[in-house]
Structure 1
């Protein structure tokens, strides 16, 4: 099959995936011996494997990637693409175009293999192997970018060149977005100049009408609806996300992935009721890939949690515990945290043993790329309170997890929900104040409650009261015994509070203090992502005081 036809067939397969016809897409791609069919087939299996975490799926995907790499290798030039730059410039024959696309497909397959290497084994050797594959892939993308810049004027009218350009922009854009400089360090994917270049490449790729345009669009959608929220200050570009999604909503109105992103954007805007209907529509649109259902269950669990509809939230948390393999430790902890928000009678009706659930968490912890997952470590540490013969119950653990996932930025868009959360928090605050027999965890619990109360007051515009709550946490620093993360996170929140009031000097001071003065606490990397984003947003801001 010639290259142009192979790309067209792969586009057809992508259309089938977006229309929920996953098996048909695989059937279309499997019989053909072309680099694009091989890449497309392995991409679908890798996506499935990373969603299921089933060893059987991971092994099948890994075998397919190895075949795909061999297929791409047959079309590659013996020397690297760098060595053939002069010939590529002088002769734009079909053979050279095939070589260019082979480099691109090979780089994409290497990234897929690195992804599976990370999830297949738990040791550091696998992590290093995956890192080497990522470095090789990145170098190929840089070589392809050089080809792109040098041949721009020669072949810009060629349809195959446009497809090549789309692939380069997807690769270079994604690498710059996550900060490729050292895969053994924490990925730095917040707002930096490197990041800005990555976003611009992805935006250009999304608009160039190539096979990979929708992949560029999906990368930007994920960035604006997840990365910016969880690892930034919670200010994703929702207008851009809506504009990116709109043409695909018209083309694939019943596509489960499209419906999911539509629901996610609606949820981030604060319209939780409308979002819930769209998540449910995404679930009912297809039954072949249950893993997409699980992503929707996770979001529905949070939507109900934001509204303190704990029984409905428990239902989805329970479904995730029973059906999904992604992170059993987090799912079980989340379910137990939600049950903790319910009355003793409601918990009894579920038939769950709350203490037993919390005790399960530590045994469910896993390792990814040879390292413990920070959120699982946090859940394990919090659960240890239930191992004692006389356990001290956690206070508002579901609201604490809501904060960890930056959910207060969504709740904060709704004054009614924020007021309702504040009422819940103040009831717990009163109970702690009246506790006749305070435990060793009492200072930590009181500080957590004050931080969450401060957040609610901030979103309700009651800035002075919010500041009092945050400073109360800081003044209790010496009394905190376990939850040391509370102080740097509170400093960060106090900085954002001053930023909101226009005092950028104080804002920077508090955020810098959180960055420089604390280390080795829970979710440190997550806070550093948020700090990085906050400090970047403060750069160039006019210096003013209230």
Structure 2
């Protein structure tokens, strides 16, 4: 391949690399270096919300350049996974298949995974291209696996997706071996290759390390392994590099610290690191919706809900091309208002999600009904909504992903079945229960005023149950839910002995629970964390292990096992995240 034929100087090339949204070179021919540089230009456009322009830049070369193919397919895959529209998924699948074919043309011949150690010598560009083709091919395989899970519901598709992931993992391991053998390489091409390896190996190790031990043992049998510390170090090194994938390493770490560690861990995301990672990109892309979104998310996790809401609203107004980013903001705004019990505004965003987003209609409708349940009769009347009818819709909206029902949807369906009866017994504080499902009490706990206000609402529900003259069959379950949530509020307010009494009250009522069996193992886990906070690590371990080994077949079991895995790691002295 030849170089970009636009007569640009090295200094001009550097301008393109940093400020692609100001000037894009017109490429006549393309070599590896120029392809990486132009893909960086497209990435800059994406980060400045110029999605169509990024696609236009990449489109002409997507069948002749592996990096253009990868960049083009990445944007369409991202769009498809955000919209869940079948036409977007099909368009992305066609593109990713073309991208794999493009990458395959540059790969070493007669090799499924390839032995990378024999691919490169410094003198030959062809071998250099083969090296990059392996990384690009591995990334494309992961994208195709993602689309496979989203597109089809059957188990065959699930297995096919798993095979693609395993092949991708093997390629990354081979590439890492090559990297370890060549520490003296100093070319820009090699640094770009190194960035790709660090992104892949780091992401695989980090995500595999989150898996509960029983799942990980099975995966280790077929060649997977996960080391959290190593994964984080690889991603941090990649984020600090000057490679094309530096921003992708940063975004992976941001996602881990602001979402994964909260939903699948103990809620101890490293916000100091998240802020440091985001800071240079805030300078570079001050109005970029992705950067604004993460800035808002960090503010939420800090308990600064007012700042978070302002940033989410700024993110919404920053671009109109990809409405799906608006939907992410609506979800977060719904919770930001819920944390402060501004149910009218929370309902507004839940209603928008029901009308506009295809991600999970069952969750959105359940969430809207749950929020309405927290409002006064007069407020509900103003909305024109029928709470009972909304709950009855939930079951029919359930979907499947990768051949499996989605756990949170299953939970919503099961809870909404209370409304099937002719005279349903209303759920007591359903919006607060869902807040717990998403680990929201950990976030509200950063704000004493909001936690106190939640405690007042929970104690009002407790009083309502106490004064119930004709307790229903759901009374014991509702009482246990109230005690667990009350215990969480008391824990975050520093009233640890009272919190312990609430948790032990749930455990002593185990035999009376008829439907919400998830409450006992989750309470055991929370009590374990409480003992950890008090410094009694032996007692903490006992209670968390009890939740792990003695309970099964309850709602959101897999979610709790992720959290248990993170908690036990922290108790063993293996930090889940840096303080």
Structure 2 counterparts to residues 497-508 of structure 1, below 5 A: 497-508=530-541
| 1:237 is the counterpart of 2:266 | no
Of stretches 22-31 and 73-82 in structure 1, the one that deviates more from structure 2 is 73-82
In the alignment, what sits opposite 1:169? 198
2:349 is equivalent to residue 316 of structure 1: yes
- SS at 1:439's partner residue? coil
Once the two structures are TM-superposed, the CA of residue 505 in structure 1 deviates from its matched residue by 1.4
Partner of residue 382, structure 1:
415
Which residue of structure 2 lines up, in the alignment, with residue 260 of structure 1? 293
* Cα contact 1:81–1:100 (8 A) shared by 2: no
Quote the offset at 1:362 in angstroms.
Answer: 0.3
The residue aligned with 1:206 is 239
Query: What's the secondary structure of 1:31's corresponding residue?
Result: helix
Q: Structure 2 vs 1, CA of residues 86 and 537 (structure 1 numbering), >3 Å: closer, same or farther?
A: closer
Determine helix, strand or coil for the equivalent of 2:182: helix
Q: 1:88: Cα distance to partner?
A: 3.4
1:172-187 map, 5 Å: 172-179=201-208
- In 2: Cα distance, 1:99 partner to 1:203 partner: 26
What's 1:393 paired with?
Answer: 426
Per-residue CA deviations over 1:157-209 (Å, capped at 9, x if unaligned) read 110000000001101111111118999x85799xx971221111111111111
Partner of 1:355 in structure 2?
A: 388
1:511 to 544, 551, 555: 544
Give how far 1:84 is off: 5.2
Higher mean C-alpha displacement, 505-514 vs 402-411: 505-514
Match of 2:42 among 2, 8, 13: 13
Native 8 Å contact 1:89 1:150 kept in 2: no
Verify: 1:342 aligned to 2:375, yes or no.
yes
Question: Relative to structure 1, is the Cα distance of residues 175 and 87 closer, same or farther in structure 2, using a 3 angstrom cutoff?
Answer: closer
1:46, 1:61 within 8 Å by CA — same for their partners in 2? yes
1:478 and 2:507 aligned: no
- Out of 52, 75, 78, which is 2:83 matched to? 52
For structure 1, which runs of at least 5 residues remain unmatched after alignment?
A: 542-546
CA distance in 2, matches of 1:241, 1:367: 33
User: Could you tell me which residue of structure 2 aligns to residue 468 of structure 1?
Assistant: 501
Distance (whole Å) between structure 2 residues aligned to residue 211 and residue 90 of structure 1:
22
CA distance in 1, matches of 2:111, 2:127: 13
Q: Is the 8 A contact 2:435 2:441 kept in 1?
A: yes
Structure 1 residues 253 and 182, CA, compared in 2 at 3 Å: closer, same or farther? Answer: closer
Q: Secondary structure at the match of 1:152?
A: coil
Paired residue for 1:495?
A: 528
* Counterparts in 2 of 1:374 and 1:85: CA distance versus 1, 3 Å: closer
- Residues 382-424 of structure 1 deviation map (CA, whole Å, 9 limit, x = unaligned): 0000001110000100000000100001110111001100000
**Match 2:107 to one of 51, 70, 76:** 76
Gaps of 5+ in 2: 1-29, 220-224, 575-579
2:67 to 21, 36, 44: 36
Give 2:26's aligned residue. none
The alignment status of 1:100 with 2:131, answered yes or no, reads yes
Contact 2:207/2:226 (CA < 8 Å) preserved in 1?
no
Query: Matches of 1:86 and 1:488 in 2, distance apart?
Result: 49
**2:564 is aligned with 1:535:** no
User: Once the 2 structures are TM-superposed, how far is the Cα of residue 89 of structure 1 from its aligned partner?
Assistant: 5.3
CA distance in 1, matches of 2:117, 2:174: 13
Contact 2:114 2:171 in 1 (8 A): no
The SS at the match of 1:173 is helix
The Cα of 1:74 is off from its aligned counterpart by: 0.8
Deviation at 1:118, TM superposition (A): 0.4
Residue of structure 2 aligned with 1:431, choices 433, 443, 464: 464
What secondary structure sits across from 1:273 in the alignment? helix
Partner of 2:365: 332
- 1:406-445 pair list within 5 angstroms: 406-445=439-478
Number of residue-to-residue matches in the alignment: 537
**Residues 81 and 144 in structure 1, CA contact (< 8 A), matched pair in contact too:** no
Partner in structure 2 of residue 544 of structure 1:
none
Aligned counterparts of 1:137 and 1:353: Cα–Cα separation in 2: 49
Alignment check: 8 A CA contact 1:81 1:103 kept: no
> Which residue does 1:225 correspond to in 2?
258
Matched residues in 2 for 1:212 and 1:85: separation?
20
Check the 8 A contact 1:42/1:65 in 2, yes or no. Answer: yes
2:428 and 2:461 in contact (8 A); partners too: yes
The whole-number CA distance in structure 2 between the counterparts of 1:526 and 1:64 is 33
Aligned 8 A contact 1:330 1:376 in 2: yes
Structure 2: how far apart are the matches of 1:182 and 1:531? 10
2:18 paired residue number:
none
Contact 2:113 2:167 in 1 (8 A): no
3-state SS of 2:243 partner: coil
Choose from 98, 103, 109 the match for 2:140. Answer: 109
**Contact in 1 for aligned 2:487/2:498 (Cα 8 Å):** yes
| TM-score, normalised with respect to structure 2 | 0.90
What's the TM-score once normalised by structure 1's chain length? 0.96
Classify 1:347/1:356 alpha carbon distance in 2 versus 1 (closer, same or farther; 3 Å): same
The residue number in structure 1 matching 2:577 is: none
Give the corresponding residue for 1:521.
554
What whole-Å deviation, never above 9, does each CA across 1:56-75 have from its counterpart, x for those lacking one? Answer: 00000000001111111111
Distance 1:467 1:86, change over 3 A: closer
1:135 to 166, 174, 184: 166
The C-alpha deviation readout for 1:451-485, integer Å capped at 9, x for no partner, is 00011111111111111111110000000000000
Any conservation in 1 of the 2:235–2:250 contact (CA below 8 Å)? yes
